[in-house]
Amino acid sequence: MKINLIAFLIATIGLSPLYAQSEGKNIKIGLALSGGGARGIAHIGVLKAFEEYGIPIHYIAGTSMGAVVGSFYASGYDADSLETIFKTTDWFAIFSNKPERPLIPLSRRLNQIPAIFQLGFDFWKIELPEAALSDYRINRILIKYLSRAGFQAGRNFDHLPIPFRAVATDLKTGQRVILSRGNLSRAVRASISIPLLFPPVELDDLVLVDGGLADNIPVDVVKQMGPDLVIAVDVTSPPLERTMYQDIIGIANQLTDLLSSSRNMAYFQSPDILIKPDLHKHNFADYSKIDSLIAWGYEAAIKVVPQIKAHILHGMTNHKTTEQDKALSFDGRIIKTINIYGNRYLRQSIIRREFGLRIGEKFQLNEAIHGMDVVYATGFFKTCWLDFFPKDSSGIEIDLHVKEAIRRTIEIGLGYNDDDRAKGFLRFQNRNLFGWGERAQLNVYGSDAGAGLRIRVQGDRFWNIYLGYLVQFFLERNKPKFFQNHDYVNRAEFDHLGTKFLINVHMGRPGLFQGGFEIERVKIQERIGLNFAPQTDQLRKLKLALFWDSLDDLSFPTEGIKLAITYDWNLKKLGGIDNFWQLAFLFKAAFSFHKQHVLEPGLWVGLSDEILPVYEKFRLGGPYFMPGLHRDELWNNQVLAAYLAYHFHLKPRLRLSLLTSAGNSWQQRNAIRLNSLIIGAGASVEYLTPLGPIGISIGINKRGDHRVYFSVGF
């Protein structure tokens, strides 16, 4: 970083007389770090400047993001480590309530369309959410980086490498709460609980929210710790302009500012030295300019270095603990006790099973966090967190705290594409029907392509064995498009009424084997322009399927594999129409390189009897497997298609894609020829929104077909 050398020399020459007064005394320095959301990343730049010029810090107090940066530094992470942590954190994901996708049981991911809105209810009572954002991923990152130091300190923040205080606000009284002992990660989490955005934190008998409501620049708190010199870093957001509080985040921030201003004045005290970086109206919720924020903090600190140096004699001492010390005092202890707190309806045995750690095993923090991730991925909890206590000289007690999600919910999903137009669904769900994790759902959906109702009950596992079940009833009217020579003819109309029962055999988290049967009645309605005679068919199918899905994300995967092999066999002797079978193989993978670049190959093979009802035929078309054709334009008994896509991620939520493909469909298996594949190519741009991806793409093929596609959501 550039240093304003001239300003530095001038300031050094004009040292304050305080230098003479402090000569011969090694003074203690206290640091007060303010809140300010993403603006608080500038604190790292201030710490980098202090390290560079040998300025020691002996006490730290922080509010909100100041508590985050301050606690990390007090725990032994230097400024460079902090910079690495903040740069490698996925800030878009950290404010999301999505669990790690590969950890979700595969039976719950199959055909599950994410909702854009959810409302809880308890029979006739509406249950509103605590906050707009989930705190689970924030809990996770704080546990990961602060648990070791907090455990070593014996839950006393004075025993950290640098004594530390976190500031929160009592939601009941509005009074400032100074946190000096207990669970370090939980104390910091309380300090960043912005009302409306994040859930409050319950500690002992208090309900705590963001410390910025009461004391955003905790100078008074540092002074109580006994330093000789107090330095404050103020990254408080400037007053919001009217255009900046027109959404829920902006409104929450504006309310926080209005409610906290008078309370902050009551606690405010002036520091000996104030550092106020010029952050150029940087938005408190914008985590995209980490380098700039650190640089601005560094530049502001450099300007006051001479003033600080006038007070001190000795350089900075190393306050970091070694990785070996951390491991000896934390990891490697024997697990003596595992306690579960907070479950109301879900049986504790289910939680222990998913958590995975066992009494008598050696403790590893990463394994404990992974177990917590697995518990959260079940979908039964809105949040989880961990606490640790020593048990004798070599043991450890683990407390897993959970807060159950609302069991009964109403969920809404919306989408659009240029072929089916607007579409949506309404889903009523009970996510824990009998206390063993059974899910019951009633889905109602509709679009130009049809409408329907599905009722399903699903259990993932019986006791501790990897065996589950799915029972489903469905009533649907499918209205797919039919084309002739690329021209739209009409929509067919197939009415389905049936039920199916499947046994699920789980193969870890990513794998699933299914076997069962389906009983169905299908009515084919007469439609103008389509040569389908009205008739009613009875189907009696045996079903087998093998699934594997380790993709890290549904919309924008960067790694993993997705595989589906399904086999359906309709049997006439069981009451069905003609004997026929279908075998489908679908493969997709993602491989990332150089962070922003992803290769995605895909393959689809569909084989069947030549005697196949029209509503059972494979459908091929669309921007991936057959660019240039309408979605589902080709209907046939056999299909073969493959594509290779290249994705360039401009930003975490924005990507550009290029692809090439080859595919076709045939009536008979012996007609399949590689030289009859239709070669195509396409390009697209997609942006991830709360509705799902918004995408626009263009596709062409060697026959001269071309088409523009547009889609939103599922």
* Sign, Cα dihedral of 351, 353, 359, 362: negative
Edge-first strand listing for the sheet containing 334-341: 334-341, 395-404, 381-391
**Residue 521 CB neighbours (<10 A):** 12
* C-alpha pair distances (Å), 586 with each of 203, 517, 601, 708: 50, 21, 11, 25
Known catalytic residue at 697: no
Closest-CA residue to 309 (of 524, 554, 29): 29
- Are the C-beta atoms of 492 and 532 separated by less than 8 Å? yes
| DSSP for 392-439, written as a single string | TTTEEEEEEEEEEPPSEEEEEEEEEETTTEEEEEEEEEES-SSSSS-E
Q: SS in 3 state form for 658-695? A: EEEEEEEEECCHHHCCHHHCEEEEEEEEEEEECCEEEE
**Residue 339 CB neighbours (<10 A):** 12
Give Cβ neighbours of residue 48 (< 8 Å, ≥ 6 apart): 1, 79, 80, 83, 294, 297, 298, 301
Tell me which amino acid residue 153 is: A
Query: CA 539 to CA 500: how far, in whole Å?
Result: 11
Query: CA 100 to CA 14: how far, in whole Å?
Result: 56
Query: CA 576 to CA 310: how far, in whole Å?
Result: 92
* Sign, Cα dihedral of 103, 107, 113, 119: negative
Query: CA 706 to CA 689: how far, in whole Å?
Result: 27
Query: CA 146 to CA 635: how far, in whole Å?
Result: 57
Q: Kindly provide the b/e burial profile for residues 215-235, where b requires at least 16 CB atoms within 10 angstroms of the residue's own CB.
A: bbbbbbbbbebebebbbbbbb
Known catalytic residue at 64: yes
Annotated active-site residue in 107, 135, 191, 210: 210
Give Cβ neighbours of residue 538 (< 8 Å, ≥ 6 apart): 520, 521, 575, 576, 577
At 266 the three-state DSSP class reads helix
Closest-CA residue to 432 (of 98, 131, 108): 108
Closest-CA residue to 650 (of 590, 692, 596): 596
- Which helix (DSSP H) or strand (DSSP E) does residue 507 occupy? strand 494-507
Query: CA 252 to CA 222: how far, in whole Å?
Result: 28
- Are the C-beta atoms of 314 and 26 separated by less than 8 Å? yes
Residues forming a β-bridge with 439: 458
* Sign, Cα dihedral of 597, 685, 703, 678: positive
- Are the C-beta atoms of 408 and 385 separated by less than 8 Å? no
Query: CA 546 to CA 514: how far, in whole Å?
Result: 6
- Are the C-beta atoms of 179 and 115 separated by less than 8 Å? no
Query: CA 73 to CA 58: how far, in whole Å?
Result: 11
**Which residue blocks in 316-390 are alpha helix, DSSP H?**
323-329, 348-355, 365-377
Give Cβ neighbours of residue 144 (< 8 Å, ≥ 6 apart): 365, 369
Annotated active-site residue in 34, 64, 75, 661: 64
**Residue 154 CB neighbours (<10 A):** 12
Query: CA 192 to CA 133: how far, in whole Å?
Result: 13
Residues catalogued as catalytic: 64, 210
